[in-house]
Copies of this chain bind each other. A is one copy, B any other.
Amino acid sequence: MHEAKGPPRRADARRNRERLLAEAQATFAEHGTRASLEQIATRAGVGIGTLYRHFPTRQDLLEALLGARFDTLTATGRTLLATRPPGPALTEWTHSFVAATTTFRGLTAEVAQPLDDETTRLHASCAAMREVGTELLRRAQESGTVRTDVTPTEFFVLVAGVAWAHEQGLPDSPARVARLLDLLFDGLHR
């Protein structure tokens, strides 16, 4: 979906990039987004310098991993848009969103930033994801499943809030997310 521009990289460079991404994924999952970059480099069997050449900042590394998630989320959204009625489509996509956003501690915060920050490298794949989400929301509103006065931004902010809340809680039960999202959709009143 992105990358693969400019002159082709050398074979060893490509190989190292892949190893770094794989180890970063594992290490972040284990220690959260603030894990030691030196450790990631070591685990990938490369020097710290190599890590920094490929990913000048921690953000860049996170973004490479996040970009893939955004792309997946975009694809999932398109499928749902085509195959499910508006209401369930939105609900199911929201669950996917929280799941994708929650795989390691601290990720939510990283997601929240590019959501409305135009300058991020990530903005492209994030924007695509956001667009699909917006469309899902719009259709759910059209079909009368969701109140029409909710803006896409408000929707994303609230869902990200739930994702964050879930990320904090130690018992990582899938039932818990489902429950929280139900409460969000149905409201606390009545």
Contacts and interface: CB of A to CB of B under 8 A. Distances in A.
Given A161-B162, A165-B158, A186 B187 contact: yes
B188 A150 contact: yes
Contacts of A145: 189
Tell me which of A145, A154, A165, A180 has the highest count of chain B C-beta atoms within 10 A of its own C-beta.
Answer: A165
Interface in A131-190: 144-147, 150, 154-155, 157-158, 160-162, 164-166, 168-170, 179-180, 183-190
Contact of A184 (B146, B155, B168, B184): B184
A147 B189 contact: yes
A183 B169 contact: no
Contacts of A112: 165, 168
